[in-house]
Amino acid sequence: MLVAARKLSNTTLSDLGAEIQRPTYDRSALTPGIVHIGLGNFHRGHQAWYLHRLMQQGMALDWAIIGAGVRAGDEAQRQRLAAQDYLTTLIELDPAGQSAEVIGSMIGFVPVEEGNAALIAQMADPAIRIVSLTVTEGGYYIDPVTKGFDATHADIEHDAANPGAPRTAFGAMVAALKQRRERGIGPLTGQSCDNLQGNGAILRQTVVSLARLSDPDLADWIDANCTFPNSMVDCIVPATGPKELELARSFGIDDAAPVTHENFRQWVIEDDFCAGRPDWDKAGATFSDDVHAYEAMKIRILNGGHQILANAGEILSVEYISGCMAHPLIGSFFRKAATQEIAPHVDPVPGMAPEDYVDLIDRRFSNPQIVDTVRRVAFDGSSRHTGFILPVLREALAAGTSIEGLALTEALWARMCEGTREDGSTIEPNDPFWSDLTKAAKAARTDPAAWLGQSQFYGDLARNPRFAEDFGRWLDLIWSDGTAAAIEAYLRD
């Protein structure tokens, strides 16, 4: 017998089914310690869950999360979450069965407004000791070739000229840190939770460089006093749509923003927090001085593997990542490229060899319960290929090891960006630079060098004869005989 879904709120928690875990702590007694910018599904299914689990143990009750955003669309998320007392239903998609829990580690959400005055004031509050972010890999204003700070972006130029009314999250952080310094409140920790190697160092680069454009003394103070720990984050968290809303209702919960996630989480953090931190390790996180090794393994095999799958899947009209793994060619393409071309350029970490990690990722990607769309994974390829695939390609070329699968991956990205699938349907824009990518992809159909000529992505790789030859051969084969024929040829070699 189906149970009528109850609107999620503090007052309805006691009405949920006995099998649903819920906060056992007094949420009214929580006080804030963290502002998190970018309240998407990943944060709520990952970092917020770790904090919730500490609170379930009676710990970290003064570290509750205040949500924030700097985009107009973030206001809709704020209203959804405010209407349910900032509670979130997490649904674990284990192949053996689904389960649900409600987490309550978030207690507020800053109003989203032009100039970000409310956000600045919240981050300047002495109670806030950490500002964390999930703003996507491409959101840090990084020059794709030099990897330095891009001071020429219009948003950055605006914030440099208007430091009191910034557009960006980083401009708001700079403004808040200025207030903290002036009032003697002290520094805070900036904690990136995005899929970037050296994400803490990159966040430091962005914040300090932006501050230096308007206030060099403040920039020096931030650089000397604030900390920016590197971290590696990992949990597959699909986007929420009608299916996920209905899944929450099947547990008797009317949640406007539920989160589904796989039965795996990992968080490795550099222990460098200038104003204190929760004991996340007591909820399963790992503090390590060698975050780089963990993040390199994850970013290269998991995130790079996602790009291997998603571009081929999009061209061949495969809707989900698990479907790509079940495909007779695409799944084998991932296995071979990850094992033979990526794993040799990944160092082991305690308890995990690269080859074993490929097996782990194979199982996770193949989980049929995870309805993770190819389109979501293929989004922002201009950041993801430059961050996840091309660094491995450069190392492989330098080492003289195989690059065939990596070159094929780049050719598939070029084919996908042409904007049509092999069944003739249209691929809707799926990258901040989609129009430029599509123009280059169409030209590359007859001249592969037109794609590699995008120096903002490839730099000197375009002039490497081995890569250019392999890329051109694969792209020509894809266009003449099709994606399946190209992958079959790679698997035969």
Average pLDDT, the chain: 96
Contact 373, 319 (CB under 8 A): yes
Res. 1 pLDDT band, cuts 50 70 90 = very low
pLDDT, tens digit (0-9, with 9 covering 90-100), for 2-61: 568 999 999 999 999 999 999 999 999 999 999 999 999 999 999 999 999 999 999 999
Mean predicted confidence (pLDDT) in 69-78: 92
Res. 371 pLDDT band, cuts 50 70 90 = confident
Q: How far is CA 215 from CA 161, 208, 212, in A?
A: 11, 10, 5
By three-state DSSP, how is residue 89 classified? strand
Give, to the nearest 10 degrees, the angle between helix 483-492 and helix 465-481. 130
pLDDT, tens digit (0-9, with 9 covering 90-100), for 251-270: 999 999 999 999 999 999 99
What string of DSSP letters covers 222-247? Answer: HHHH-B---EEEE---PPP-HHHHHH
Q: Where are the beta strands (DSSP E) in 249-370?
A: 253-254, 259-262, 266-269, 286-287
What number does CATH give the domain 6-289? Answer: 3.40.50.720
pLDDT value of position 328: 93
Tokens of 37: 């910018």
pLDDT above 50 for 99: yes
pLDDT above 80 for 222: yes
Res. 318 pLDDT band, cuts 50 70 90 = very high
pLDDT above 60 for 464: yes
Contact 238, 91 (CB under 8 A): no
pLDDT above 90 for 408: yes
Query: What gap in Å lies between CA 275 and CA 420, rounded to an integer?
Result: 51
Q: How far is CA 187 from CA 163, 205, 226, 417, in A?
A: 18, 16, 5, 44
pLDDT above 90 for 360: yes
Tokens of 129: 């000791």
Mean predicted confidence (pLDDT) in 478-485: 98
pLDDT above 80 for 280: yes
Counting residues of the chain whose pLDDT is more than 90, the rounded percentage is 93
Of 403, 388, 389, whose CA–CA distance to 467 is shortest?
A: 403
Instruction: Kindly tell me the burial class for residue 416, based on how many C-beta atoms sit within 10 Å of its own C-beta (0-12, 13-18, 19 or more).
Output: buried
Between strands 88-94 and 97-103, the pairing is: antiparallel
Q: Rounded to the nearest 10 degrees, how much is the dihedral formed by the CA atoms of 371, 375, 381, 384?
A: -10
pLDDT value of position 138: 81
pLDDT above 80 for 144: no
pLDDT above 80 for 75: yes
Res. 146 pLDDT band, cuts 50 70 90 = confident
Instruction: Kindly tell me the burial class for residue 314, based on how many C-beta atoms sit within 10 Å of its own C-beta (0-12, 13-18, 19 or more).
Output: buried
pLDDT above 90 for 145: no
Cα angle, residue 73 at apex, residues 72 and 75 outer, rounded to 5°: 80
Mean predicted confidence (pLDDT) in 308-333: 97
Query: What gap in Å lies between CA 34 and CA 66, rounded to an integer?
Result: 6
pLDDT value of position 3: 63
pLDDT value of position 178: 98
Half-sphere CA count of 314, side-chain side, radius 13 A = 29
- Domain range annotation of the chain: 6-289, 292-492
Res. 474 pLDDT band, cuts 50 70 90 = very high
Q: 292-492 falls under which CATH superfamily?
A: N-(1-d-carboxylethyl)-l-norvaline Dehydrogenase; domain 2 (1.10.1040.10)
